[in-house]
Structure 1
Amino acid sequence: MPTCQNCHQKWSWTTAFKRTVWFNGGMECPHCGAKQYVTKNTRKRSASLSGLSSFAIIFSALILDVSWSGLIILAVTIFLIAMIILPSAVRLSNEDEPLW
């Protein structure tokens, strides 16, 4: 779970989910109110996961010849798993780090 770098309190899964899904820059810590930012490594990992998920769906469509209904089920399953895992994988920083 994300931990505030200012007060060192862990966020609940629900709070982390709400803050990361509607992420628009900094996120306010629910405990101390300090502005927290997603780390550069977390953003890179999220982008890699998105690319890997897209590759799995395209690979299934082209190589494995999965039906449309199978692709939809696969895509929804990958999306739900990512939404469940995402809040626990977020790491926070006091400063907004540039991606590159």
Structure 2
Amino acid sequence: MQGAIHRLRDGDELVCRVQTDLGVETPYVLCAPVLPRSDWGALTPKLHVPITLNAEAHVVLMSQMVAIPGAAMGPVVGDVWAWRDDIVAAVDLLVWGF
């Protein structure tokens, strides 16, 4: 589901699923890393989206998006629906420059 935060199967890393459900299964899914806020330095406005996950500060690194194998995605641990507009704006900035 788009906007879901997944823990990867092979570790503790978190990713946010950016890709929408296209109605067809694809082997790779477009995601952005999610890190604890304390693990990242200065935020780039409109590209690094600060969120709260389980009452802790995190950041979605939209500038670091990558397609990962769908099979690597583990359980859903949260979502970014409250920050949807910020996520969409970051994608627009990356793709269109505004």
**Alignment TM-score, normalising by the size of structure 1:** 0.29
Which fold has the larger relative contact order, with Cα–Cα distance below 8 Å and residues 6 or more apart in sequence?
1
> Counting helix residues as a fraction of each chain, which structure ranks higher?
1
Larger Rg: 1
